[in-house]
Amino acid sequence: MSTAAARGRFGSYGGAYVPETLVPALEELEQSMDAALSDAAFLAELATWLHDYAGRPTPMHHARRLSAVNGGAQIWLKREDLLHTGAHKLNNALGQVLLAVRMGKQRIIAETGAGQHGLATATACACLGLRCIVYMGREDMRRQALNVYKMELLGAEVVPVDSGSATLKDATNEAIRDWVTNVRDTHYVIGSAVGPHPYPTLVRRLQRVIGDETRAETRRRFGRLPSCVVACVGGGSNAIGMFTAFVEDEDVELVGVEAAGRGLDSGEHAAPLSRGRPGVLHGSRSYLMQDGDGQVEVTHSISAGLDYPGVGPEHSMLRDSGRARYESATDTDALAAFHRLTRLEGIIPALESAHALHVAARLAEQRSADDLVVVCLSGRGDKDIDTVRESPLG
């Protein structure tokens, strides 16, 4: 195995399984990433944008009423929902678009599921003056009509994708095909810690600010670390962003939450780490929902941002090593957690984040009142209001 491939490995996961046309572009991206991330001027520019424009650092909120009603450990929320555009996705989009400017790329493409990553990328392109094209499954455009309109207001072109299941997986295929065709002048801003090397590493680096801030804040306030951090896992970017700062702290439990959809045994879910087998999708080897013939399965989740058959390769490694644990929450669990947080804390969470809230509450129950459980509240729920209203629990 060449060193390029070895660098992009997380144990036996990761790699760069892409058409030859893209290999030189990935090598260029890796070199540019390494240079930018060791350049103090670039890091200072990124920090300024994150502070002045995006609103970092995000606060941590003690969910007092939720903790009291739930019983057990104190639940704290890392408020990525308060970041500009309403989700953690802007950390990654701003960093990647700044990198694209540095690389001299004039055209930006992205895929989106819930629309939050598309919105974040369209926003970064608006404020940095780049052309933006967002691929989105037609089914997701229906579910997330508000975000589609916002992206268009921001000047992005939203291209509907009808192939396959017309959701995030298919939008990602289409974005990669665009990149294969326009690779010379285009940067592909991938939306999660997935894809071929160097993307999982790049996205982790840009999202680790979530966990770095959380770690510093809990140390400052309590002089200790949380006993447990919890995050939802679609592709796994907010989760790896939260986990990275704590990976060396063996006493801190890392818990990722996948979408169990209509139940892990229903076959209608999006939980590759719980029920998939390793395979290759979108350029990397990782746990994957696939049938016996290696065809990728259609997933289901009430939350468009978790409705994806793959997962970032580093999560596969953390799962196998046992350093992180992966649980799941059903559509119904997530809706109940959505309503609970809204009523008890006055915070309307994204349905993705509601999956993490459900599992965090169960974990908190089993702990003592002076334990700290931190949940990554990855986004706000405005985009999900219609879905919630139409649901049986609405």
Partner 1 sequence: MSVAAPGTRFADAFAARETDALPGLIPYFTAGFPALESTVPLLIAAQETGCLAAEVGIPFSDPLADGPTIQRSGTRALRNGMTLHIAVRQIRAAREAGVTIPLAPMTYVNPILAYGPAAFMADLRAAGADGLIVPDLPDDEAGDVRDVAHAHGLAFIPLVAPTTTGSRLAHIAAHASGFVYCVAVTGVTGARAALAAEALQLLDRVRACTPLPRALGFGLRTHEHLEQLRGHCEAAAVGSALIDAIERDEQDAAGAAARFLRSMLHG
Ligand X SMILES: Cc1ncc(COP(=O)(O)O)c(C=O)c1O
Q: Which residues are catalytic?
A: 89, 111, 378
Distance separating alpha carbons of residues 292 and 190, to the nearest angstrom: 28
The residue (of 189 and 350) whose beta carbon lies closer to ligand X is 350
The residue (of 18 and 87) whose beta carbon lies closer to ligand X is 87
Q: What's the full length of the chain, in residues?
A: 394
**Stretch 281-320 residues interacting with ligand X (CB under 6 A):** 305-306
Q: By CB under 6 A, is residue 118 in contact with ligand X? A: no
C-alpha closest to that of 236 among 279, 291, 189, 199 = 199
The distance of closest approach from Cβ of residue 297 to partner 1 in the complex, given in angstroms and rounded to an integer, is: 8
DSSP-assigned letter for residue 50: I
Q: By CB under 6 A, is residue 350 in contact with ligand X? A: yes
Angle separating helix axes 89-103 and 116-128, nearest 10 degrees: 40
**Contact, 372 vs 338, CB < 8 A?**
no
Q: By CB under 8 A, is residue 53 in contact with partner 1? A: no
Q: By CB under 8 A, is residue 106 in contact with partner 1? A: no
Q: By CB under 8 A, is residue 159 in contact with partner 1? A: no
**Contact, 13 vs 314, CB < 8 A?**
yes
Distance separating alpha carbons of residues 122 and 124, to the nearest angstrom: 6
Q: By CB under 6 A, is residue 116 in contact with ligand X? A: yes
Whole-angstrom Cα Rg for the chain:
19
CA 220, 224, 230 angle in degrees (round to 5)? 100
* Strands in the chain per DSSP E: 9-10, 13-14, 60-62, 74-79, 107-112, 131-137, 157-161, 186-189, 228-232, 253-261, 277-281, 284-288, 324-330, 372-377
The interface region with partner 1, picked from 37-45, 176-184, 258-266, 342-350 by CB under 8 A, is: 176-184
The interface region with ligand X, picked from 50-58, 121-129, 180-188, 228-236 by CB under 6 A, is: 228-236
The distance of closest approach from Cβ of residue 347 to partner 1 in the complex, given in angstroms and rounded to an integer, is: 37
- The interface partner of residue 290, options being partner 1, ligand X, none and the CB cut-off 5 to 8 Å by kind, is partner 1
The interface region with partner 1, picked from 10-18, 87-95, 233-241, 342-350 by CB under 8 A, is: 10-18
The site for ligand X, by CB under 6 A, has a size of: 21
Q: By CB under 8 A, is residue 19 in contact with partner 1? A: yes
Q: By CB under 6 A, is residue 244 in contact with ligand X? A: no
Q: By CB under 6 A, is residue 226 in contact with ligand X? A: no
DSSP-assigned beta bridge partners for residue 79: 377
- The interface partner of residue 353, options being partner 1, ligand X, none and the CB cut-off 5 to 8 Å by kind, is ligand X
The interface region with ligand X, picked from 10-18, 93-101, 112-120, 174-182 by CB under 6 A, is: 112-120
- The interface partner of residue 281, options being ligand X, partner 1, none and the CB cut-off 5 to 8 Å by kind, is partner 1
Distance separating alpha carbons of residues 231 and 17, to the nearest angstrom: 28
The residue (of 272 and 305) whose beta carbon lies closer to ligand X is 305
Exposed (0-12), middle (13-18) or buried (19+): which is 292, by Cβ within 10 Å?
exposed
The residue (of 60 and 298) whose beta carbon lies closer to partner 1 is 298
138 sits in the region (left: phi over 0; alpha: psi -120 to 50; else beta) called alpha
CA 332, 79, 329 angle in degrees (round to 5)? 20
**Stretch 264-283 residues interacting with partner 1 (CB under 8 A):** 279-283
DSSP-assigned beta bridge partners for residue 325: 255
The residue from 90, 109, 114, 229 that contacts ligand X (CB under 6 A) is: 114
**Stretch 191-220 residues interacting with ligand X (CB under 6 A):** 192
Place of tokens 């974005």: 175
**Stretch 281-300 residues interacting with partner 1 (CB under 8 A):** 281-283, 288, 290, 292-296
Instruction: Give the binding site for ligand X (CB under 6 A).
Output: 87, 113-114, 116-117, 192, 232-239, 305-306, 350, 352-353, 378-379
